[in-house]
Structure 1
Amino acid sequence: MYQVPDSDPDLAARRASSFGASAAAYADERPDYPAAAVRWALEPVAGRAPLRVLDLAAGTGKLTEVLLNDGVPAGRITAVEPDPGMREEFGRRVPGVRMLAGGAEDIPLPDAAVDAVLVGQAMHWFDHDRALPEIHRVLAPGGVLAALWNTDVDTVPWVAGLKAASRSSVSFQRKESETLPATKEFPAFERGEFPHAHRRTAESMAATIGTHSHMLVLEPDERDAVLAAIVGYLRSVPETADGEFDYPLLTLALRATRS
């Protein structure tokens, strides 16, 4: 399940726009996506050549890097990102891929410009009433929309404990969803799940959580206190107390073909 913003629109807006100032840390500390999840996302259009892919809300290029490593040519990928800090970091990390300023609700591409729209760790920030028709517009007939999230495996006891230790005064109330609602543009979403892991230490795990939006909008004193609590917790747990460990993730992928 992926977490969605709660009913406080001002807090949600602050969190959604918080990443750019920490773009380098985001690129360094956030996990990538499993290639199997990205291949599954593109499966409905895999036979198209040359395949044209839009990485929407591309951030620092985590998803684009997987596409490139899996053989999609840089010239067939377009990235769109609203935050200038994230766009600048993207340019450093994945030069050669076209990056455009824009958002999901106003995509700077012509009609039917791409065969696939991929969204990594960002679909929950979109205004779906505006974004889904716009995504439909830029997709070619039969094109695919796919959203991916790296989610915590909190059925593991120490992971659940870490999530509790990481909560702050601006953490969203727990509100989760397993799919996206059907619309006239995208009548049905399929769901895929892919095991994943992120190699971390206590300190680097704290740095990763420090790039989460609820941490980025905190006052410095509370942020420092939460980060210290995270490191203290991980050093107290046998699975994570000594050196590196694998932080378990489940990558959730949802895909739908354009009506």
Structure 2
Amino acid sequence: MIANVFSIAGTDPTGGAGIQADLKTFSAMGTYAMAAITAVVAQNTSGVRAFQPLDPGFVADQIDAVFDDVRVDVVKIGMVATADIAKAIADRLTKHKPACIVLDPVMVAKSGDLLLQPDAVEAMRDILTPMATVITPNLPEAGVLLGREMPKSREEMYAILPDLLALGSQWVLLKGGHLPGENILDILYGEKESIDIDGPRIDTNNLHGTGCTLSAALSALLTRYDMPESAKRARAYLTEALIHSSELSVGKGKGPVHHFYDLWNTSG
């Protein structure tokens, strides 16, 4: 049976991040992709120009429309934009009780532009995080969630993991790509185990939507594997998508990764 994976997030008209990246990733992973939009974002590979949050009630209606009709195996939450939208998402998911929730606490685009209103951080931390099976913050997001400076070393990454887990999720996948160095360390941390997922940094400027893509891959893989195996495979998928991103020619800024690198024949 083909799994159904449901993303709740904002848009990207250039197709590299947000809902569009999620749908591509779910599809590349062999799952059926569904989506509810929280905000319409005017962005491209060079930056975010503006975003328009949708009415929280309408976001809730989208979520209900999916759950009332379709079996949902995993929910992924990305950009929530506002506190009221975060509350609406939490209310609907409390009602529908999905078995697995992946929360990517999207706050800032790769360009550095904010993707949520200030009050949404508290709602994401206090309302959505305790509902999550796993949260997938990068280092700046981890700092914001904890109200402190971002970790600046691997030692500081390890040190904040218990505090991140104490926010209420079952697992934390802390992404270390903001640290300098030839290798990137991600750490999967749960109550009973901690797993280092270390790998090479790919020399590319095509970094648009990497966080969305990793969390979307994790969401799809959780329909088939346990958390540790899903996290390792999600990282491996993103690495290959980055390696093959040079096959694309999209935008003048930070381009997208190649979500369909192993499905498209680009040899002509």
Instruction: Give the TM-score range, shorter chain.
Output: 0.3 to 0.5
> Which structure is larger by alpha-carbon Rg, 1 or 2?
1
**TM-score, structure 2 as length reference:** 0.34
Higher relative contact order (CA 8 A, sep 6+): 1
**TM-score, structure 1 as length reference:** 0.34
